[in-house]
Structure 1
């Protein structure tokens, strides 16, 4: 039987005095740095009322509360035998950064952890209590403050992370050398590594669903997937992924692939693989993604298979564009080209578009424009923006694991895809941020035109399936819900568990998460949730039932249903060439 582990030795009086002084100075430095940082924010400088944050009475109250809590913490540290330990909040208790036992078992690191949480909580409370500041400015300040708090976590520094200290002793500092090598490699490529880059290869263990490229334009490749059943739905499915990312988010490993699953259910599946922008695409605008992209692909599939209409899926920004496509086709009297439309985590009304809207102020737009001098925006900048939205998980987690601990990168298909960035046409990107995120024109009837035709979302009557992610931080569920305020046709709204990616890429075989439906007529997301029925697992089968209810007719999987056997010859094997260009 193993000997019982001895409890940590109590620190001596000299050690207590030393660490009390060190941690006290650390607290003061963090508070002062946080105040200085917030005072330097553009929003702070632009708001005449911002000095109210430093109102003497309010500052005194905030300071008194902070030091009261600090003194209680120090008392618990100095005299643990007689101290009453404060109850830890659920959020702090489940913080994965502090999961190592040393953060609670070692008195010094326990104090450091609690001190960090105390400072962080008071900094956030200080922002929330600001008066005389516009809501948007307050959100900008809160976002920046939270980013600062995450950056200043003791887990991010070698001297204040017990796991790093132990690793330094264990490896005699080799972990720091390996971590430095990792960091220098990332600096050289201008992008943080999050997964083992050698673990995945397109066509080998990613994007493996059999198919052929049957059309290539300067904007996209059209991939036609081989049928897996003897009969297929007569109405084909055309999928429009976002050109902000690579299409194979919907064709990851075979177990996770939505495309493979859809083919196995008997759908004739076509996917658009967008070209990553370069200088030749400097004049590409949103109209091009509608006319030369989505409508061209829809017409190509209709002509190839001899069908009147198609089912279409739009994911994220491609869903926003699909909404505009529907409005344009309706205005032209061609709405029948789409039998149904499905929207994955799509926003059309950007009034409450979440934290991404904090990046579309005048200063940010000027900076983005300066980074797009060659007519396109390097995809690494967009990737950094998305990482900042979840900095704790997508930035600082890797600083600790791969730079400080010198750990090997783990293979993870989703993170491999996340790092596989695409460039964006500069004109399209600027107009998208200004016209939609900033000015919210898409929901104003006639405010936007495509190819000279004013569009109005309220004219769209195409049956639509709208999927949102409960924890989506890019397209918040309440923002996705707003589609129901503008479309006037039959709608089915489904709220999926998890977020922007995992909420979509959730195959039935995984038996993960859940989704909510509500058959009643409701006018808000809150009403929907209040009366919703929860179903365990993937929402994909629910979507398939909805597709089948729209048109269950099936035909033999032969002739033009076989990639390359119709009017369009096969140009290349899936996943094509555009997905591989950098």
Structure 2
């Protein structure tokens, strides 16, 4: 039971709900007990591990940046003078505003920045000053570190990235006393929101076994195979690395060529089958495709020695054999999503050396094959970090899926970290049930051997795009992998705001493949730009029949079309072969169904 406290003149009495003192006492006792246990568990685990005190190699990067800045003090002084001039203008404008004048802002946040959406950030002079003061400081810090001359590109990128991480963390929206929305909630509830937030924080620490694992959604509302990943089908084949799912047809006739999809094993396949209304898998089935999907295993230490070549052999190549048994058809259309696309391209190059022509078309969803400009993920890939990561994986046999998820979340810290800190811990609210965020939190592990090969040979050394004549060309299963040998028709879909596979990097693939290539650019990002059903009416896409060397030149000559790119892809793939046959049910061929879709592999979670 809460109590009310009133104070103030008659007619203007504010009312604040005060929490029951007994409730506060019990909550704080619980906080102390849980907090002590969490800290003890964390310290014990840290004592059991040996590690580099700076595994991300941040300190040396900032030391190098500072040394470079000191070689040009005049530029630093100029930046400081500009900052103080803007700050004085802000002080002056705030004073004039308090006296009733209407003055414009000195600085505004970028479009789409949702941290300052509450009206009080602009309507209240104090909070408007706090907001603009922060934005000026953020601009100063980022411009100062970017003005250091002579840094190598990797160090410069790292300094810029971690400066922005610091700047984002220091946002006034992330603190109780400088967030008007949180202050309002605190007054309304008498601080009960902060007590609930503290309980949420401790729950997340316990959930992460001493490491903060922020809940992004109410995961109790979702169950794979019951309200997400529900497109009907059967697991018809499996290897130690993947289950092959064949989906039930919804049309009387189907295209003769089956469609097989290879998702990334960094995430689970059901991003393409979240709900019926946004499921690419269900939509493709409805268009008359016989759809097969590889559902990758969530590996443990027993699979530590599985490599990229095993994902080729026990994944793509095994799936092609199984599909022929299931349908009696050798030729297929194939899709690869992100890392699954990198695997598809690698396997196609291998198949070219073996004169294996079973894959008749290749579609790549946001896929990189040339990693020269890998975007901000490159911040995490240098020799020091790779050694620390390999040491950690060597002890476990795999990379923990939560660590990979944290890396991806840092690329969009305001949306995927700090917004939940404010909602869960400051506002004291439970996270909203959202299927996409449930999928995002359903992490997968990476086998140690495979992941080390992927990071070193592709991200760090960029060997995948090298020709067979180069001594550093990748060799797998006894064959040199040369992407220039791929001659099948290729469809590439990239997304303009992709923070994982930057579209200008993915575009480089158009200059590697020797068959006919269609490149399409979708609006939005790595997930939303791909999972964009026609009925949603969201996100446009750009097309251009020409493929100049420069991605900027391609975009300058492209035509923007409204809505989803899915129908464009379907027209492209059916133009290659429109032959139809009677619809195929799972089990019609030589393969006996093992279990219902979505299968058992996808249900294994990182805690299992």
TM-score using structure 1 length: 0.90
In 1: Cα distance, 2:454 partner to 2:489 partner: 26
State how far apart, in whole Å, the 2-side matches of 1:86 and 1:370 are.
54
Farther off after superposition, 379-388 or 66-75: 66-75
Find out whether 1:66 has 2:83 as its counterpart: yes
- Quick check: 1:50–1:133 contact (8 Å CA) kept in 2? no
Cα pair distance change 1:126/1:67, threshold 3 Å: same
Tell me the equivalent position of 1:172.
Answer: 190
Q: Is 1:361 the equivalent of 2:387?
A: no
Q: Which moved more, 1:174-183 or 1:140-149?
A: 174-183
CA distance 1:437–1:403, change in 2 (3 Å)? same
Pairing partner for 2:569 from 522, 535, 543? 543
SS class of match (1:214): strand
What is the 5 A alignment of 1:117-266? 117-190=135-208, 191-266=213-288
Paired residue for 1:113? 131
The 1:404–1:521 alpha-carbon spacing in structure 2 relative to 1, beyond 3 Å, is: closer
Corresponding residue for residue 345 of structure 1: 366
What whole-Å deviation, never above 9, does each CA across 1:238-288 have from its counterpart, x for those lacking one?
Answer: 100000001000001110100000001100000000000101101001101
Per the alignment, residue 48 of structure 2 pairs with none
Query: 5 Å matches for 1:232-311?
Result: 232-311=254-333
| Contact map agreement 1:203 1:574 (CA 8 A) in 2 | yes
Q: Is the 8 A contact 2:96 2:103 kept in 1?
A: no
CA distances 1:93-152 after superposition (whole Å, capped 9, x unpaired): 652111111111212111111100010011111122111211221111111111100000
Residue aligning to 2:53? none
**294, 313, 327: which is aligned to 2:349?**
327
Aligned to 1:104: 122
Indicate which of 550, 575, 599 corresponds to 1:576. 599
Preserved CA contact (<8 Å) 2:539 2:562: yes
Q: Which residue of 2 aligns with 1:26?
A: none
Structure 1 unmatched ranges of 5 or more: 1-5, 7-37
Counterpart Cα distance in 2 of 1:225 and 1:319: 21
How far off its partner does 1:46 sit?
Answer: 5.2
1:567 aligned onto 2:608: no
Cα offset, 1:515, TM superposition: 0.8
The answer to whether residue 523 in structure 2 is matched with residue 492 in structure 1 is: no
Give the alignment's Cα RMSD to 1 decimal. 1.8
Q: 1:464 to 1:208 in 2, by over 3 A?
A: same
C-alpha distance in structure 1 between counterparts of 2:58 and 2:285, whole Å: 54
Summarize the alignment of residues 468-507 of structure 1 with structure 2, pairs less than 5 Å apart. 468-507=494-533
Counterpart residue number, 1:378: 400
Distance 1:365 1:401 in 2: 34
- What CA distance in whole angstroms lies between the structure 2 residues aligned with 1:536 and 1:496? 10
Contact 1:92/1:117 (<8 A) preserved: no
Distance 1:428 1:521, change over 3 A: closer
CA shift, 1:332, in A, is 0.7
Moved more, 494-503 or 294-303: 294-303
Distance 2:108 2:90 in 1: 18
Contact 2:69 2:76 in 1 (8 A): no
Q: Is the 8 A contact 1:41 1:141 kept in 2?
A: no
Shift of 1:312: 0.5
Distance across 1 between alignment mates of 2:203 and 2:344: 39
- Partner deviation per Cα, 1:270-316 (whole Å, 9 max, x = no partner): 00000001011010011011111111111210232121311010000
**Partner-residue secondary structure (3-state), 1:255:** helix
Q: What is the alpha-carbon distance in structure 2 between the residues aligned to residue 345 and residue 54 of structure 1?
A: 41
Deviates more, 1:248-257 or 1:81-90: 81-90
Report the equivalent of 1:57.
Answer: 74
Give the Cα separation in 2 of the matches to 1:88 and 1:477: 33
TM-score by length of 2: 0.86
| CA distance in structure 1 between the partners assigned to 2:361 and 2:304 by the alignment | 33
| Structure 1 residue 539, shift from structure 2 partner | 0.5
1:521 Cα deviation from its structure 2 partner: 4.5
Q: Using the TM superposition, give the Cα deviation of residue 520 of structure 1 relative to its aligned residue in structure 2, in angstroms.
A: 3.1
After superposition, residues 25-36 of structure 1 pair within 5 angstroms as none
Secondary structure of 1:442's counterpart equals coil
Distance 2:527 2:382 in 1: 26
Q: In the TM superposition, what whole-angstrom CA distance separates every residue of 1:557-582 from its partner, at most 9, and x where no partner exists?
A: 1xxx2112321111110000000012
Quote the Cα distance in structure 1 between the aligned partners of 2:148 and 2:547.
Answer: 39
Tell me if the contact between 1:53 and 1:131 (Cα under 8 Å) persists in the aligned partners.
no
Give the secondary-structure state (helix, strand or coil) at the position aligned to 1:495: strand
Match of residue 534, structure 1, among 545, 556, 560 = 560
Gaps of 5+ in 2: 1-11, 13-55
Change (3 A) 1:63 1:521: closer
8 Å contact 1:302–1:310 — kept in the other structure?
no
